[in-house]
Amino acid sequence: MKTQVTDVKSKYDAIIIGKSAGGLTAATAAKKMYPEKDILVIDKEKISMIPCGIPYIFGTLESVDDDILPAEKVLNGAGIDLLIDEVTEIGLDCKTVFTKGGNAIAFDKLILATGSRPVFPQVKGCNLDNVLTVPKTYDYLKAMRKKLDEVDNIVIVGAGFIALEVADEIHKLGKNVTVLYRSRILRKSFDPEFGDMLLERLKEKGIRMIHDNLVELRGSERVTSVLLEKSGEIEADMVIFSIGYRPNDDLAIKAGLDVGKNGIRTDEYMRTSHPDVLAIGDCAEPRDFFTSKASGQMLASTATFEGRVAGANLFNIKLVKESKCNIGIYSTHIAGLTLGVAGLTETVACKEGFEIVIGEASGPDRHPGKLEGASNIKVKLIFSKDRGSILGAELAGGKSVGEMINIMGLAIQKRLTASEIYTVQFGTHPHLTASPVGYQIIKAAENALTKFRYC
């Protein structure tokens, strides 16, 4: 079976639109669960990027080509067809997709994994050359990386993890980097003390951090400066907006599917308002694990989770039955500091009306702490006061945070209590983990338990 097909069949058992993290996961999961089914993936981009690796093409990685997602190889190995074409319309009555290349392909099941696009604000001067965003398209990023070699002063507008990762990476090229932010950094993901830790790290590294409002971009053909409300005018050879993403839900809207503010609405099996059409990833509207409210979070980890659920349940609702609500778990590594978060922060929990108990602990992630690679880890756990179950976790420190937050993600998904976390049995080793006597997750749960005594 050829992967890239030129003469597609007139009908497939399943069609997936999009081959980034969510689409690729859904396609391979569906093929593993239903090997007898013919599956076609359609994507308008010949080359797909590893989404989480995009910031690193600007510094750590030598080129954009070092971050290519081997989608074609994966699909070929799974026996899944791939068509490079753009779907322009979905006919729900006839269950057919129509493409820009003139194809009309019928389906039994359809998965939309169309992703998202960067928000681009309409401020004065935004149409000047070298005013850019951070999309996930290979050709754009290739040209953007080349332009970086020709400039010295870069202003990045935004305070989310992508903006800060990009700032950190571009700074590694020896560029003068300024980050412009309107509210505290990482405001949507972390409590203030964690954002403040990163803010100090970025300043120490030499990245200029300005808390101000953007008024306009200036220049004749190419941007040369930005005007700020309080700080005046600062030089800028390039401006990068990283202020969020919008779901690519145009196809769904045109087809008449139910679409919310943050994407296509789905049920726990990722089915849309049409029973044979599913949606996953950035184009689908996520819901918070605890409140069930629509969430604007867009994460590759969430997209792959949803892809597994959609693929497994595509033809039979029996293989995976799990809440699709979004825990909101991710980690980032910026300026030598690793941050991880899962579930609700203290700020959000209080805003939503939860009565909470906080458990905190800190200490080295090796024992003894003088071992090479050791770093200090700070753990903050948020528990429900009435039930004692965990609502959220925030961690900061070295790279060990990346896997420690995954432990907490499982604890949140299984709604473990402070007592149950306190009695979890962890394996430890001097070169790999914190001491069994002072393992930070256990000590944070212990700290919370001492406070429950007085609730």
Domains of the chain: 11-117+246-312 (3.50.50.60), 120-243 (3.50.50.60), 337-452 (3.30.390.30)
pLDDT mean values, one per 10 residues, the chain (455 residues)? 68 97 96 97 96 95 95 95 97 97 97 96 94 97 96 97 97 97 93 97 97 97 97 97 96 97 93 97 92 85 93 82 76 96 96 96 94 95 94 97 96 96 94 93 96 74
List phi, psi (to 5°) of 256: 90, 15
Per-residue model confidence (pLDDT) at position 292: 83
- Cis-peptide, bond into residue 192, ω within 30° of zero: no
Q: Distance between CA atoms of 324 and 90, rounded to whole angstroms? A: 25
Residue 400 contacts by C-beta under 8 Å, 6 or more apart in sequence? 338, 365, 375, 377, 433, 434
Tell which residue, 382, 130, 320, has the closest CA to residue 241: 130
At 114, is the secondary structure helix, strand, or coil? coil
Q: What does the alpha-carbon distance between residue 384 and residue 390 come to, in Å, rounded to a whole number?
A: 6
- Region of 306 on the Ramachandran plot (φ > 0 left; ψ -120 to 50 alpha; else beta): alpha
Output the CA torsion sign for 123, 127, 131, 133: positive
In the block, which residue shows the tokens 């792959």? 304
Q: Is 111 helix (H, G, I), strand (E, B) or coil?
A: strand
Q: For residue 350, how far is the Cα from the chain centroid?
A: 24
Q: What is the largest CA-CA distance in the chain?
A: 71
Burial degree of 298 (CB within 10 A; 0-12, 13-18, 19+):
buried
Q: 176-190 burial string, b = 16+ CB within 10 Å, else e?
A: bbbbbbeeebbbbbb
Q: Taking a C-beta distance cutoff of 8 angstroms, is the pair 281, 51 a contact?
A: no
- What is the pLDDT, as a whole number, of residue 209? 98
Neighbours of 368 (CB within 10 A): 9
Output the pLDDT for position 318. Answer: 67
Angstrom distance (rounded) from CA 114 to CA 41: 11
Identify the CA nearest to 278 among candidates 108, 99, 36, 80: 108
Task: Pull the structure tokens for residue 451.
Answer: 């406070």
84 - beta bridge partners? Answer: 43
pLDDT computed for residue 319 by the predictor: 62
- The pLDDT, as a whole number, for residue 1 is 41
Spatial neighbors of 132 by CB under 8 A, at least 6 apart, are 144, 147, 238, 239, 240, 241
Q: Is 441 exposed, middle or buried (0-12, 13-18, 19+ CB in 10 A)?
A: buried
pLDDT for 297 equals 83
Length of the chain: 455
